Amino acid sequence: MKKITALMLSSAMMLSLAACGGSASTDAVSSEAVSTAEAAPAALTTVNAGKLTMSTNAAFPPYEMTTDSGEFEGIDIDVAAAIAEKLGLELQVDDMDFDAALLAAQNGKSDMVMAGVTVTDERLKVMDFSDTYAEGIQSIIVKEDSTIASPDDLADKMIGTQRGTTGYIYCSDDFGDDHVTPYDDGLTAVQALNNGQVDAVVIDNAPAKEFVEANPGLKILDTAYAQEDYAIGVAKGNTQLLDAINGALEELEADGTLQAIVDKYINAE
């Protein structure tokens, strides 16, 4: 837990370095907004008027999950709500498969995808990303008695991943499609590991920890598979919204809100 918190801190610092002069308010904003901060809400056009519509896949704790009573919670949900508030919008969360959540933002069906999304070169070709707000690690989950001890041992094994994720992309690039089984979500992949249908699961470290905690007999390998940055995705060319999001993120980082949200879901020991 400590490690992740430290990583989050370092990416929060990266954010403050990266966030420079992106003002949403240049000419679109009238005089009433002059005294307020950079992320001025006035002229933002969104998919649903008055709302900030976020597509996500709420099966990825602690970033996004569904409570027993059917509400959404998690780091991304809280950060998105804080951004929406700064922009004078109401947050609307649309839950769907992960690949669909990416597509929704790409195609302008949602304003943004926030789902622990890793920034990759391929994705940058089809969508724009905000400043990074967290760091992710692709981890390997195996059974406690597994002979797999490092990423190299994954060759010739069957690896479970969530469809459309970087875990799937890296593993199929490295070991071939035949060695990777895509599942609807991370938990289903972990259940397949429990049942012996796959030999390992490659998934982001934060959900990996939660899944392993809830499933005795599994462990996370010490060697990570990959390190990556999480950011918010928007339709390519939607600079108005992107600038507004970055402005809000910068403020949330500066006033400690971002860290407080991370601490709420990832206990600092």
The binder of ligand ARG chosen from 72, 98, 170, 175 (CB under 6 A): 98
- Give the binding range for ligand ARG (CB under 6 A) out of 43-51, 57-65, 80-88, 244-252: 57-65
Residues 189 to 208 in contact with ligand ARG, rule: CB under 6 A = 204
136 to each of 14, 120, 166, 267, how far by Cα in Å? 14, 12, 11, 16
What b-and-e string marks burial along 31-57, b requiring 16 or more CB atoms within 10 Å of the CB? eebeeeebbbbeebebbeeeebbbbbb
Q: Which two tokens stand for residue 194?
A: 């429990």
Residues 119-148 that bind ligand ARG (CB under 6 A): 136
Query: What x/- string results for residues 159 through 188 when contact with ligand ARG is judged by CB under 6 A?
Result: ---x--xx----------------------
Which of 112, 117, 258, 261 is the binder for ligand ARG (CB under 6 A)?
117
Q: Which two tokens stand for residue 48?
A: 């649903």
CB of 50 to ligand ARG, least distance (A): 25
Torsions phi, psi of 199, nearest 5?
-95, -20
Which strands form 233-235's sheet, in the order they lie side by side? 90-95, 51-56, 112-113, 233-235, 127-129
Among 8, 52, 60, 112, binds ligand ARG (CB under 6 A): 60
Report residue 224 CA to chain centroid gap. 18
Residue with tokens 């994954």: 154
The distance of closest approach from Cβ of residue 137 to ligand ARG in the complex, given in angstroms and rounded to an integer, is 10
Which tokens go with 35? 């005294």
Please tell me whether residue 11 binds ligand ARG under the rule CB under 6 A.
no
Instruction: Work out how close the CB of 117 gets to ligand ARG at its nearest, in angstroms, rounded to a whole number.
Output: 5
Closest listed residue to residue 198, CA positions, set 225, 179, 173? 179
**Interacting span for ligand ARG (CB under 6 A) from 37-45, 79-87, 111-119, 148-156:** 111-119
Contact, 65 vs 71, CB < 8 A?
no
- Distance CA(253)–CA(251), nearest Å, equals 5
Radius of gyration of the chain (CA): 19
Site for ligand ARG in 240-269 (CB under 6 A): none
Nearer to ligand ARG, 87 or 187 (CB): 187
- Complex with ligand ARG: residue 25 or 57, whichever CB lies closer: 57
Give whichever of 135 and 253 is closer to ligand ARG, judged by the CB atom.
135
| Residue whose CB is less far from ligand ARG, 41 or 61 | 61
> Is 118 a residue that touches ligand ARG (CB under 6 A)?
yes
Least gap, CB of 127 to ligand ARG (angstroms)? 12
Binding site for ligand ARG (CB under 6 A): 56-57, 59-60, 64, 98, 115-118, 136, 162, 165-166, 204
